[in-house]
């Protein structure tokens, strides 16, 4: 055997596990995440959102199994989840909410202006694209209105759940 092809085979065998393992970080499939019951188009959309957030925030976005927030669907609805967690006291990534608000419409998603809810400890709102719903939820410690001495936790989290927008049985369509 010519040494060059033999070296190429050995190099491929050495690199294959690394390249396959990195598929998730490059926006590939959600390895090790149980997204069973979630429509393929929803998992594909979540993979795109994952890649967008990982690239734009330089953060460590994670994939997980999620659930569409019950304010949008009255039945259990599995979702492909992308989660980003950070602390405001030690790291300040580019605002992931502004990134999603700018980029999701460019990806064909339509914001439902009536879907939002904001409070001192978080926010939630939804986008639609065809038969998919994308729920964006932010969570943080907003402190106590009546205690100005309370120590506020600097942790922040962003959850993006993508699933079927089909109405539940007996539920009228909402969008």
Each residue of 57-76: pLDDT tens digit?
Answer: 888 899 999 999 887 877 88
pLDDT in tens, 121-154: 889 999 999 999 999 999 887 777 677 777 777 7
The closest of 114, 122, 132, 117 to 78, measured between CA atoms, is: 132
Q: Which residues have a Cβ under 8 Å from the Cβ of 60 and sit 6 or more positions away?
A: 54, 84, 85
pLDDT grade, residue 55 (50/70/90)?
very high
Read off the pTM: 0.75
Residue 80's pLDDT is what? 96
Kindly list the domain boundaries of the chain, sorted by start residue: 32-164
For the chain, give the mean pLDDT.
78
> CA-CA distance, 114 to 127, in Å (whole number)?
10
pLDDT in tens, 92-104: 778 899 999 999 9
Distances in whole angstroms, Cα of residue 80 to Cα of each of 2, 37, 41, 130, 143 = 48, 10, 10, 16, 30
Q: What is the mean pLDDT of residues 160-175?
A: 79
- DSSP reduced 3-state for 61: coil
pLDDT in tens, 17-36: 333 333 333 334 456 788 88
pLDDT grade, residue 89 (50/70/90)?
confident
The closest of 67, 85, 63, 86 to 76, measured between CA atoms, is: 67
Residue 38's pLDDT is what? 94
CB 132 within 8 A of CB 163: yes
């Amino acid at each position: 055997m010519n040494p060059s092809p033999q070296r190429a085979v050995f190099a491929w065998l050495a690199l294959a596990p690394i390249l396959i393992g990195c598929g998730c970080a490059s926006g590939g499939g959600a390895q090790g995440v149980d997204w069973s019951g979630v429509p393929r188009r929803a998992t594909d959309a979540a993979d795109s959102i994952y890649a967008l957030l990982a690239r734009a925030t330089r953060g460590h976005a994670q994939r997980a199994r999620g659930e569409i927030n019950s304010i949008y669907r009255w039945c259990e609805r599995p979702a492909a989840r992308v989660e980003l967690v950070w602390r405001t006291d030690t790291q300040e990534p580019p605002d992931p909410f502004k990134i999603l608000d700018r980029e999701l419409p460019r990806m064909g998603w339509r914001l439902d202006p009536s879907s939002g809810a904001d409070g001192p400890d978080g926010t939630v709102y939804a986008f639609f694209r065809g038969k998919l719903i994308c729920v964006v939820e932010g969570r943080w410690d907003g402190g106590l209105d009546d205690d100005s001495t309370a120590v506020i936790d600097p942790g922040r989290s962003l959850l993006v759940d993508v699933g079927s927008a089909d109405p539940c049985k007996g539920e009228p369509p909402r969008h």
